Chains A and B, each alone.
Chain A
Amino acid sequence: MKKIHILILLLLLISCKSFSQCCSAGNPLGGDGSNEGLNKNELKLFTSFKYSLSKNYYHLDAPYDIPNVEKSYYDYQNISFTYGIFSRLSVYTELGYFFSKTQEVKLTNDQIIIQSKGLGDLGVSLRYMLLKTVKPVSQLVISGGAKIPIGAFNEEIDGAMVPISLQPSSGALKFNAGIYYSRKRADLKFGWNSFLFFESSNTIDQGFLIYKYGNLLQLSIAATYEIQRKLNFIFNSKFEWRAHDLREKEMMIESTGGKVFFLNPQLVYAFKPGWSLIAMADIPVYKYVNGYQLTHSFSIQLGIRKSLKFCNSGI
């Protein structure tokens, strides 16, 4: 048991140089890492703080030396609600605020800091439980929704608009669909879940800016382990594939899109009935980018979750 604890701590402390597309515009996928459906009249509130850092340029699957960009990072606060409106149907909403979305660039001898802040996109989706069983505890959930660009997309510094990649909002309406399955036997400490997510973006058409984000496909597979009655560890692995972005006349932007494989360890501590503290990290362990791209080094997220039940409703 002690060895498992040490292994978990080590995994959480790893900060290997790795990747994902940080500099790409838009909003992180929020939430508490769970995509489960809720029973009728159940409510789950979650808020978290996320820090993400990108430092290294990659060309294909290898580091590439472009000395100009020193680093890019953001501080992001997210809040989400999940509410069971019927016995099998839940609604999920999320909204986030960037306290800062920053890029530090060194051109000649001067260091330039470009920074913005503001509201991100509003996420809304419906989750429908196709299947739910008690023994074993399992769920099969399909979801569909949208990300609505209500946030700041016109941030400027001294009269100069900050680039699209540093705007808090993605500026584009996006539609997504997902399928989630989880399974755990009550008499075992191990369980697992998996999640397949697809997102497609509308084209931004604002004056001279014609831009379409590439489609995103994400597959997660997670093993869950109950360390103690109140403490759970989730060892999540995530594969992300993003297609090229397009600009005017549907011209493909070569240095966008790619493939990333993340480890995404999570600790969930239920400190009071209905209350949980959640810590998670995104650690990219393999990255393949199209062209030349600044890549994600790591991100950490700390959050608190409150679950409420307004009246009895059986599973």
Chain B
Amino acid sequence: MNIKLIILSSMIVFSIVFLSCKKDENKQLTQPTDNLAIDSLVATKTNIKIYEQTFITAYTRGKNLKFQWNANHGTIETTDSSTVMYWACPSCVGLNTIECKVTNDYGTVSDTIMINVY
């Protein structure tokens, strides 16, 4: 009886963990319009040394915008919502992709910029 209880409770715990940890699904992207668009992503430098910083600004259209930044390698620090600071450690040497997603009531759009770390 005790064994069954323990096994059952363990299974319940792990099931809860599995269900509660479901990752966010990727937001469906929409076509850019005057209500929502990223015109460009501009970086102060696109070639940087390890631990050198570059600032990336998203020039956008639309109101009530929510920004989400993501890099495949390296670190992003938000300075304000439309501008971020990017730098990278030695294990991030190479051509890295930084993605900006912008969301409002009209949907989500995204753009990327490449930064080379050497």
Contact surface of A with B, Cβ cutoff 8 Å: 23, 41, 43, 66, 68-69, 81, 83, 93, 95, 105, 107-108, 112, 114, 119, 122, 150-154, 156-165, 207-211, 245, 247-248, 251, 253-256, 291-294, 310
| Min distance, Cβ B10 to any Cβ of chain A, angstroms | 6
Given A41-B3, A93-B10, A157-B78: A107 touches B70 (CB 8 Å cut-off): no
B68 within 8 A of A: yes
CA distance in complex: A41, B72 (Å): 46
Can you name the residue of chain B whose Cβ is closest to the Cβ of A151? Answer: B21
Contact surface of B with A, Cβ cutoff 8 Å: 2-3, 6-7, 10, 14, 17-18, 21, 23-24, 26, 50-51, 53, 66-78, 81, 84-85, 87, 89-91, 93-94, 97, 99, 112
CA distance in complex: A157, B71 (Å): 13
Residues on B with C-beta less than 8 A from A153 are 23
Residues on B with C-beta less than 8 A from A163 are 71, 73-75
B90 near A293 with CB under 8 A, answer: yes
CA distance in complex: A209, B7 (Å): 37
A160 near B84 with CB under 8 A, answer: yes
Can you name the residue of chain B whose Cβ is closest to the Cβ of A254? Answer: B93
Residues on A with C-beta less than 8 A from B18 are 150
A68 near B81 with CB under 8 A, answer: no
| Min distance, Cβ B46 to any Cβ of chain A, angstroms | 16
Interface of B is mostly: mixed
B94 near A23 with CB under 8 A, answer: no
Residues on A with C-beta less than 8 A from B78 are 157-160
**Cross-interface CB contact of B91 among A83, A158, A245, cutoff 8 Å:** A245
| Min distance, Cβ B91 to any Cβ of chain A, angstroms | 4
Can you name the residue of chain A whose Cβ is closest to the Cβ of B70? Answer: A161
**Cross-interface CB contact of A253 among B26, B74, B91, cutoff 8 Å:** B91
Residues on B with C-beta less than 8 A from A207 are 26, 70, 72, 99
**Cross-interface CB contact of B87 among A107, A165, A293, cutoff 8 Å:** A107
A112 near B77 with CB under 8 A, answer: yes
CA distance in complex: A247, B72 (Å): 10
CA distance in complex: A68, B74 (Å): 14
Residues on B with C-beta less than 8 A from A68 are 51
CA distance in complex: A83, B2 (Å): 13
Residues on A with C-beta less than 8 A from B87 are 105, 107
A150 near B17 with CB under 8 A, answer: yes
Residues on A with C-beta less than 8 A from B51 are 66, 68, 107
CA distance in complex: A68, B51 (Å): 7
B90 near A152 with CB under 8 A, answer: no
Given A159-B66, A159-B78: A107 touches B89 (CB 8 Å cut-off): no
**Cross-interface CB contact of B94 among A69, A119, A165, A251, cutoff 8 Å:** A251
**Cross-interface CB contact of A209 among B23, B67, B72, B94, cutoff 8 Å:** B72
Interface CB pairs A-B, < 8 A, 7? A83-B6, A93-B10, A160-B69, A161-B68, A208-B70, A255-B90, A293-B91
